[in-house]
Structure 1
Amino acid sequence: MSIAEHTPDTAAPDRTGYRWVGRSVPRKEDPRLLAGRGGYIGDVTVPGMLHAAVLRSPHAHARIVSIDTSAARALPGVVAVLTGAEALAHVNPMTSFCAEPVPQHAVAVDKVRYPGEAVASVAATDRYVAEDACALIRVEYELLPPVVDPVQAMGPDAGRVHDTLDSNVVFQRSLDFGDVEGDLARAHTVVRRTARWHRMGAQPIETAGAICSYDPYAKDMTVWSNTNFHNFLPWSFAGMLGVPNNRLRMIPCAAGGSFGSKHLINKVIAIAGALSRAAGRPVKFLEDRIDNISANDNVGCDRIYDAELAVSADGEFTGLTLKIIDDYGAYFQFAHGQHGNAMAQPTGPYRIGSLRYDVSCVLTNKVQQGFFRGAGADPGNFILERLVDAAADELGIDRAELRRRNFIRPDEFPYKVPTGNVYDSGDYEAVLDRALEIADLGYWEKEKERLRAEGRYLGIGLASCQERTGYNASEWWFLYDNPPLGATSTPESIKLNVDATGGVRVELGCPLWGNSPETVVSQVVAEEFGIDPADVSVGYADSTTGAPSAGPGGSRLTIMLSGATRGASRSIRAKMIRIAANAMEMAPEDVECVDGTFRAKGAPHTSMSMSDVAMRAHLFKHDNPEEEKSGLVETFTYDHPYSTPPAADRTDMGAFYPMVSHACHIPIVEVDPETGVVTVLKYYAVNDCGTLMNPALVEGQVVGGIVQGIGAALMEEYSYGADGTLGTPTFREYLLPSVHEAPEIVLEHRETPSPFTEYGVKGAGEGGRLVAPTAIASAIGDALKPLGVWIDELPMTPERVVAAVAAAREAR
């Protein structure tokens, strides 16, 4: 794979007011990561620590008749063995944010509901002994009919995944925004399509893990983990672990990849916590690869769409209906929360006046759905762009022109979409035009004709999609009339300290998730004080010292850290200006901070260094203004910069994801209809995520997302058999894209700064991933169009490509 980045003068923003914002400052995180000193959970060792392993069910759906753990307990080196019922003496059910009675235990009690669910856990002197002990446990099961197909699961005769529910349809709601029926009735054409999006998983290099150490004398628990929510929802972990929140200390570890999958990781923490209480010693549980694939807390969504797009005679989009069946697997941890992401941008970049959103959340005997990069917005992009391409075909309008006619125009921002969310800014036509220009479609169209004369099938894809960024927690619950947790705050905090020598240290409330929080914070501090980012020291707080922090997720961290860091920096800077002004016998308004120096405006030789002012602030109280307290420490919490609550009748879901990035992707693929192999030859992308805080970091996020999107489009899928067996339990069956599947990627940026955020930044962490699968589907469809193939399912594995070609030929 090679990457070519173009930045033409027409797209270059005016950054004359910034020194560090917008520069590709080297990543602060890289040196220790490259030296193997990242501080991952696998690196942490605690004196007296035991290691855990888990026995997992081979069945999708079964009652646990009996468990015999005697042989495991007798194995030398084994310290504790817990069944699900025994674990309940030490920990509570796992945290759940749904209103429905869907209890979940880290180790199954009475019944298993998906293949790979834990039925017993062991703590031993090393992992090998623990695994051997698991092999000695004997479980008698009463097999139950597996519930696998989500449509069949909705039937009245389907077996129930949870006996606490009347049906496997755990949640259903249909909402109309605007005059949907009228727009359908008045339409010249109603384009109807179905789509199938299969579940995939994050597959991080490092799996989820935790070390729990319970002190029975102090009655407190210390937890080392790579979860994100240690400073956002620590009380939820405390409740699960059975300790008061003020007796829980959660210490963050670097996450070796997450892609959303390590937000609220409950299972490993509950298992390690229960075993630590039972054993009286610290216990580490780090998932192995089979643990993570079969039983992790968060896999991607799994949806069936039945959709309609109302279009006028001249190609204006007027209304959209989305009827969705969503397979949530065996549990409902975050309720319908993934549809908050989808409802932030259901009408994409288009002026569509009305929307019907009808969703049925269905439980089946599969591992649970959760948050994963895109978190439900990705299949929404897929069905919408497929409808747009279908409309272009039916109306005989060029697909780029049809998009151009329906784009939200630059002078219409901020723009409110039917659901109530607000888009902050954008110039979608300029992004499309530039993508078409750099892709040189004239050349590729000629190539397509030349290759088809040889019996080869080349396709040109096109997708114009949104990336909602900067989430608000109301999306987790707003489809409920009476939510179990009406959360509306997703704050981000930092602690900034200028020491007595003028050195700056920042302590973050978020963990390191593989992104670049230290680099971003250093750039903002440097911008505000006029110092070098390399001089800023950055560390991480635990749950007992950190202020509220929702951490990474939802493409939010640069937005929120910029706000928190700028707020703290300006508070400290203002105090230093007042102290310097007093020392120089001037008014504060006559002093400025330039290049780390506090100087008189218009007389720069009258000045004090940052260290001089800092020393006065720390040690010379009586020389400073009377109202100034000693020290230069500020903890600043930055709340969501623009949000509104949903209406009581849910006719408006509020503004909850308003910093909206945008991109146009044009991939070039070749498809072999006989073998089904799809080769991505080249990939063009133009991205707009507002002001680029650090262009190199954004490039890494977008390119990585594109490659992950290639996996979603062509190979990655959790596959279950009719008996509920997981057919993709290892990387031999669950395929991932490698460098061999990654083409040359040509990437450009345009910048429409957000009016809602500091510096005008928007998020970029999910952009490539949210667009690439849809764009590649478009390209495959274009390649196979002469054969009559329509692409309505992802991933398009070789088997599905061959089957689609065969079906099209048979239909002819």
Structure 2
Amino acid sequence: MSTVEDRPTTATTGSPREGERRWVGRSVPRKEDPKLLAGRATFVGDVTLPGMLHGAVLRSPHAHARIVSIDTSAAEAIPGVAAVLTGAQAAELVNPMPAFCAEPVPQTAVAIERVRYPGEAVAIVAATDRYIAEDACAAIRVEYEVLPAVVDPEAAMAPDATRIHETLDSNVAFHRTLDFGDVEGDLARAHTVVRTRARWHRMGAQPMETAGAVASWDPFDKSMTVYSNSNFHNFLPWAFAGMLGVSTNRLRMIPCAVGGSFGSKHFITKVLAIAGALSKATGRPVQYLEDRVDNIAANDNVGCDRIYDAELALAEDGEMLGLTLRIIDDYGAYFQFAHGQHGNAMAQPTGPYRISSLRYDVSCVLTNKVQQGFFRGAGADPGNFVLERLVDKAAEQLGIDRAEIRRRNFIRPDQFPFKTPPGNVYDSGNYAAVLDKALELAGIDDWRAEQERLRAEGRYLGIGLATCQERTGYNASEWWFLYDNPPLPATSTPESVKMDVDAMGGVRVEVGCPLWGNSPETVVSQVVAEEFGIDPADVSVTYADSTTGAMSAGPGGSRLTIMLSGATRGAARTIRDKMIRIAAHAMEMDPADVECVDGTFRAKGAPGTSMSMADIGMRAHLFFHDTPEDESSGLVAVHTYDHPYSTPPSADRKDMGAFYPMVSHACHIPIVEVDPETGVVTLRAYYAVNDCGTVMNPTLVEGQIVGGIVQGIGAALMEEYRYGEDGALDTPTFREYLVPSMHEVPEIVVEHLETPSPFTEYGVKGAGEGGRLVAPTAIASAVDDALKPLGVWVDELPMTPERVVGMVTDAREGRP
């Protein structure tokens, strides 16, 4: 449930309607839903082209091996098989995967000579249907020389460890230590230094729809058309073109609807390269869509996998002084996005607190696992976990209530905009008010009484508490600022829309982002409706492909509502102002005396003198001589909205700049019951108070938060990629890799507090990742609270039944 009502909100300066907003802040029904529910949206699997073939992949059963030989003759002889390609053959048709790392870590879509993780592709097939293609894969014979597998990231750092890439001197692909503020001074003057060692294991997005592409190569004009569920079709099309071996002006990427992503489909280079190589080899369109095993084993966008050694320095009264983080991050076999996930982490490492100094020491380690990528939270999630665990431990050691120690250290409302030690800026907030509202919503006193009653019966109820940030609206500098000499120091993350009003007054908007599980059509329609005073249902929204020039960084980093609002409002204002000038000319008035109200352009103070949007649209399109002399025909505007508030990092990296400044905040209070004998954790209730600035659409925000919390339940209790000592993936299917179901999810109660951003249109902030960024940490706190009588301290996620029983056993036997 949500208590944000469908109500008008206070307008910001420059709104076309004074005082109250009509559409921003209302739960307008999602415009995307009808086609999705009716099965009329076009996903990659729905694309059918004349002569289209289907691709399949043969994957390595070994984590680390040399490819001695591959015999494809039996596969090639199967009727219906059009092409079988080894890694070397595919490399003649497409180029290596584009990467954003400075280190020499080459990666191809199909392995050449050596495989480095279980599930890596060793051959690809195109056939008349997927069944034949799969049969052909089974007929391929590969001889391997199995090599030692490196699974443990700490062991991988040893000088004598088997190297994953011979192009590197060691398996530590990147290491850097940065100090911000007087770290040593804060440690020296501290009354208490709280320490913890924490482990965050990797999980994956597990979307309903896997990554896929349909590639169609035209050998006559050397062009390629690609249908895909990638987000970056309008952001990095040149990178895809380089990989596919196509001129940038001969690649057309068409977005498809996306059946779930959670960040896992930003840069799905391998599926594009596989489909592209097979299309080039056959001269026919090829569709390749990962099956579930493909996606789990080899999706290249699993979450982070970290070991933390952390310290929090505090004064005697509980004031937080300094934070040190030593991080070993297991990146798997490749390094496509370099250390970009630590850009996310460094946006908010000190959380909502006035911590004045930070030491950030990170080692990015390569192992024989599928590589880490951008997945919902993208590296900020374990940082929240470690910091909030330190705060809970500090409260216990200093004898201060968990809520009180947070309240004492929160950034105060009058301190915003607030610059954090690494340099990122937080725009606004009222963290104490969010905490107080959450405590009231949960009814903490009643739950404490219930906890005491159950303890008397030998049952273990726990009350969690976490107050965390959600950095939103990223700037591209986060991908590279840890490098002194980055390979691509980009600073643009734009969003574009093309808007036009036709001759009959109808509004059309073309957006550069895809339909990615969010609600771009709904948000754009609300903004247009707000600016013109029309009904959102009357706005038509379509999606641009890569040939339109619609620059778009798309969804990701909880940015899309922020950026679409800015782009759409900019285009709407341009067209509305032109319509005002045309109406003023027609009514023989000064433009300053004309206003737009409810889709009508009228004389201020004399509403009887007016023109409809259709009247102005017809005049603008067909009656050039009846418009002002300096106006061209038509009502079209393209507006590109750049990041509303960003600064570059300093040359010495003592200041990383403002790169994630629209910062949402939340307080979550889950209630759990734990059976210490079986290790089963049952969620009894869940309360969340969220502040994402002005809430554009309460229903949409609630859906994002609740969905994120459910994904966070998975991170807290069950979801984990597990590898054996030999490197084999022990969780290759949903039989072993568990995801939350309705049986694990309690009633989730969501309320909101709104502190508008001073940087964005309407004051909106992002909300797409907040649920997941807070939930694992809050649930860990609840389990810890439940088992406190047994001396348990939670420092590892997920808290599987086996781990919970192990923690209880260790505590009972006095082991740390």
Shared fold (TM-score, shorter chain, > 0.5): yes
How big is each residue's C-alpha offset from its partner over 1:84-125, in whole Å with a ceiling of 9 and x where there is no partner?
Answer: 000011000011110000000000001000000000000000
| Secondary structure of residue in 1 paired with 2:233 | coil
Letter in 1 for 2:2: E
| Secondary structure of residue in 1 paired with 2:123 | strand
- Pair 1:60 & 2:57 matched: no
Equivalent residue, structure 1, for 2:14: none
**1:266/1:297 contact within 8 Å kept:** no
How big is each residue's C-alpha offset from its partner over 1:386-408, in whole Å with a ceiling of 9 and x where there is no partner?
Answer: 00000001100001000000000
Unaligned runs of 5+ in 1: none
Aligned residues: 808
Q: Distance in 1 between matches of 2:574 and 2:8?
A: 31
Equivalent residue, structure 2, for 1:416: 419
Equivalent residue, structure 2, for 1:463: 466
Identity of aligned residues (%): 82
Q: What's the offset of the Cα at 1:728?
A: 0.3
Query: Among residues 615, 619, 631, which one is paired with 2:618 in the alignment?
Result: 615
- Pair 1:564 & 2:529 matched: no
Q: What's the offset of the Cα at 1:6?
A: 3.1
Equivalent residue, structure 2, for 1:77: 80
Q: Distance in 1 between matches of 2:128 and 2:458?
A: 62
- Pair 1:314 & 2:317 matched: yes
Query: Among residues 232, 235, 242, which one is paired with 1:232 in the alignment?
Result: 235
Unaligned runs of 5+ in 2: 12-18
Q: Distance in 2 between matches of 1:542 and 1:42?
A: 18
How big is each residue's C-alpha offset from its partner over 1:746-777, in whole Å with a ceiling of 9 and x where there is no partner?
Answer: 11000000000000000000010000000000
- Pair 1:586 & 2:589 matched: yes
How big is each residue's C-alpha offset from its partner over 1:501-543, in whole Å with a ceiling of 9 and x where there is no partner?
Answer: 0000100100000110000000000000000000000000100
Q: What's the offset of the Cα at 1:622?
A: 1.1
Letter in 1 for 2:32: E
Q: Distance in 2 between matches of 1:787 and 1:13?
A: 49
Letter in 2 for 1:799: E
Equivalent residue, structure 1, for 2:404: 401
Q: What's the offset of the Cα at 1:623?
A: 1.0
- Pair 1:167 & 2:163 matched: no
Q: Distance in 1 between matches of 2:294 and 2:142?
A: 19
- Pair 1:184 & 2:187 matched: yes
| Secondary structure of residue in 2 paired with 1:568 | helix
Query: Among residues 548, 552, 560, which one is paired with 1:549 in the alignment?
Result: 552
| Secondary structure of residue in 2 paired with 1:709 | helix
**1:211/1:283 contact within 8 Å kept:** yes
Q: Distance in 2 between matches of 1:738 and 1:6?
A: 25
| Secondary structure of residue in 2 paired with 1:811 | coil
How big is each residue's C-alpha offset from its partner over 1:452-503, in whole Å with a ceiling of 9 and x where there is no partner?
Answer: 1111100000000000000001000000000000011100000001000000
Equivalent residue, structure 1, for 2:700: 697
How big is each residue's C-alpha offset from its partner over 1:159-212, in whole Å with a ceiling of 9 and x where there is no partner?
Answer: 000000000000000000000000000000010111100000000000000000
Q: Distance in 2 between matches of 1:510 and 1:626?
A: 36
Q: What's the offset of the Cα at 1:12?
A: 9.9
**1:27/1:519 contact within 8 Å kept:** yes
Query: Among residues 306, 331, 334, which one is paired with 1:331 in the alignment?
Result: 334
**Aligned runs of 1:384-399 on 2, under 5 Å?**
384-399=387-402
Letter in 2 for 1:746: V
Query: Among residues 662, 666, 674, which one is paired with 2:665 in the alignment?
Result: 662
Letter in 1 for 2:307: I
Q: Distance in 1 between matches of 2:186 and 2:354?
A: 13
What TM-score results when the alignment is normalised by the length of structure 1?
0.99
Equivalent residue, structure 1, for 2:780: 777
How big is each residue's C-alpha offset from its partner over 1:656-709, in whole Å with a ceiling of 9 and x where there is no partner?
Answer: 000000000000000000000000000010000000000000000000101110
Letter in 1 for 2:664: S
Q: What's the offset of the Cα at 1:13?
A: 5.8
| Secondary structure of residue in 1 paired with 2:68 | strand
**Aligned runs of 1:378-389 on 2, under 5 Å?**
378-389=381-392
Q: Distance in 2 between matches of 1:229 and 1:522?
A: 23
Query: Among residues 635, 645, 663, which one is paired with 2:648 in the alignment?
Result: 645
Q: What's the offset of the Cα at 1:297?
A: 2.3
Q: Distance in 1 between matches of 2:139 and 2:649?
A: 53
Q: Distance in 1 between matches of 2:753 and 2:584?
A: 41
Q: Distance in 2 between matches of 1:771 and 1:37?
A: 35
Q: Distance in 2 between matches of 1:174 and 1:541?
A: 42
Letter in 2 for 1:376: G
Q: Distance in 2 between matches of 1:434 and 1:8?
A: 16
Alignment RMSD: 1.0
**Aligned runs of 1:459-608 on 2, under 5 Å?**
459-608=462-611
| Secondary structure of residue in 1 paired with 2:702 | helix
What TM-score results when the alignment is normalised by the length of structure 2?
0.98
| Secondary structure of residue in 2 paired with 1:558 | helix
Equivalent residue, structure 1, for 2:304: 301
**1:12/1:750 contact within 8 Å kept:** no
Q: Distance in 1 between matches of 2:277 and 2:684?
A: 51
| Secondary structure of residue in 1 paired with 2:812 | helix
Q: Distance in 2 between matches of 1:14 and 1:795?
A: 42
| Secondary structure of residue in 1 paired with 2:787 | helix
How big is each residue's C-alpha offset from its partner over 1:7-40, in whole Å with a ceiling of 9 and x where there is no partner?
Answer: 599x996464210000000000000100011211
**1:13/1:751 contact within 8 Å kept:** no
Letter in 1 for 2:3: H
- Pair 1:356 & 2:335 matched: no
Q: Distance in 2 between matches of 1:618 and 1:267?
A: 46
- Pair 1:120 & 2:117 matched: no
**2:431/2:665 contact within 8 Å kept:** yes
Q: Distance in 2 between matches of 1:597 and 1:314?
A: 61
Letter in 1 for 2:390: L
Q: What's the offset of the Cα at 1:626?
A: 1.4
- Pair 1:222 & 2:225 matched: yes
Query: Among residues 3, 14, 19, which one is paired with 1:6 in the alignment?
Result: 3
Q: What's the offset of the Cα at 1:546?
A: 4.1
Q: Distance in 2 between matches of 1:651 and 1:203?
A: 38
Q: Distance in 1 between matches of 2:625 and 2:417?
A: 50
Equivalent residue, structure 1, for 2:631: 628
**1:198/1:794 contact within 8 Å kept:** yes
Q: What's the offset of the Cα at 1:5?
A: 2.6
Equivalent residue, structure 2, for 1:722: 725
- Pair 1:96 & 2:93 matched: no
Q: Distance in 2 between matches of 1:186 and 1:68?
A: 68
Q: What's the offset of the Cα at 1:715?
A: 0.2
Greater Cα shift, 161-170 or 598-607: 598-607
Query: Among residues 438, 444, 459, which one is paired with 1:441 in the alignment?
Result: 444
Q: What's the offset of the Cα at 1:80?
A: 0.3
Equivalent residue, structure 2, for 1:201: 204
**2:4/2:698 contact within 8 Å kept:** no
Query: Among residues 805, 810, 813, which one is paired with 1:810 in the alignment?
Result: 813
How big is each residue's C-alpha offset from its partner over 1:721-754, in whole Å with a ceiling of 9 and x where there is no partner?
Answer: 1100000000000000011111011110000000
| Secondary structure of residue in 2 paired with 1:264 | coil
How big is each residue's C-alpha offset from its partner over 1:224-274, in whole Å with a ceiling of 9 and x where there is no partner?
Answer: 000000000000000000011100000000110000000000010000000
Letter in 1 for 2:611: M
**1:787/1:808 contact within 8 Å kept:** yes
**2:669/2:686 contact within 8 Å kept:** yes
